[in-house]
Amino acid sequence: MATQLDYYEILEISRTASSEEIKKSYRKLAMKYHPDRNQGDDTAEAKFKEINQAYDILKDEQKRAAYDRFGHAAFEGGGGAGPGGFDFSGFGGGGLGDIFEQMFGDMMGGRRGGQARSGNDIQAHVEITLEEAFAGVQKDVRVITRVACESCGGSGSSDGAAGVQTCPSCHGAGKVRAQQGFFIVERPCPTCHGAGRTVKDPCKACRGEGTVEKERMVPVQIPAGVEDGTRIRLSGEGEAGSNGVPPGDLYVHVAVAEHSIFQRDGANVYCRVPLRMAQAALGTEIEVPVVDGSRTQVKIPAGTQTGSHFRLRGKGFSVLRSSARGDMYIQVSVETPQHLTKRQRELLEEFEKEAGEDVKHSPEHTGFFRRVRDFFEGTE
């Protein structure tokens, strides 16, 4: 049997990594090995699948706890047994939640036998610009997944639906009961693998699975105001299940690229504007861009200092599922002139001489050095 890689090693994180660290590492690796960025590279595609599989387990607290305790055996059929010889391999890939659901499902109104599970959920990654996040955009996402076989219509039988029979082992329930110490537990039927039915003459195109692997483009509508790290769920766009089982879901992780001018914090947008020293001292009016593509004028009063903020109401992002809008903030940074000419230096020296220690000109400067003087006098 091939050795399975450790999920923590796949995501290049420690076993004590926080949820945020797991998410950050996943996004970095998913971007690096995404099939769209490595077209024709089978190794990168395989790595991308491993990364998504590892993230699917470690992002969920219950699944992560089960993995930390039992390893891959907690999720894969045919795996090892847990403590005391209790075998977790027959419970599928749902982790501890599925274990208890299958143990006590009949008593607590859980899933009943014969209800086939849906196909596997899959994940994809898409990167958009800040402008696209502001306005909303439709993106076509490339996914490699399993779809219903066209030859047999997803039945898995070469004779179509007519060739599908009720499983003789579980009589269509999809599960069988087994004694485990003091417990009587249910497991997926080993004959039909939980489908509740069998195929007499398997389809040659899909080998009786009912599904085949295929690459396809899925349109994803990304709403205006979407934030970096948002996950969009597309119901029924995941892998098709075997033997006619309903398809799973597609989860699209959205990454918003950094912008050269704007920074975003929730619904608010920040724009850092450097001003020349004379502009800040004398006051001026500047034209700044807005994230919607327009322009606006901002009046800068005389004596403006580095760190001053100017608020433009309603110029930020839309708030999801709301008519509210965030604001835009202009952050001023006063730039010290460099490479002065002789005349410029003379003028500045004249200004400095004229200003002297007058607190009206530089109140922060004067006040600070007065406190410094008092401090040294006190220590002496």
* Rounded Cα gap, residues 241 and 225, in angstroms: 34
Contacts of 299 (CB under 8 A, 6+ apart): 283, 285
Nearest-5° Cα angle at 313, 309 to 316: 90
Contact 3, 72 (CB under 8 A): no
Give dist(CA 321, CA 325) in Å, integer.
11
Backbone dihedral region for residue 297 (phi beyond 0: left; psi -120 to 50: alpha; all else: beta): beta
DSSP 265-281: ETTEEEEEEEEEHHHHH
271 is in an annotated binding site: no
Q: Any binding-site annotation on 206?
A: yes
Strand partners, 188: 175
252 near 125, Cβ under 8 Å?
A: yes
For residue 265, count other CB atoms closer than 10 A to its CB: 12
Are 297 and 287 in contact by the 8 Å Cβ rule? The answer is: yes
Question: What's the rounded Cα separation, in Å, for the pair 242 and 338?
Answer: 70
Residues 154 and 197 sit within 8 Å (Cβ to Cβ): no
Give me 6's structure tokens: 């450790």
Residue 30: closest CA among 2, 6, 58, 11: 11
Nearest partner of 113 among 157, 168, 177, judged by Cα: 177
User: Binding-site residues, please?
Assistant: 149, 152, 167, 170, 189, 192, 203, 206
Instruction: Name the binding residues for Zn(2+).
Output: 149, 152, 167, 170, 189, 192, 203, 206
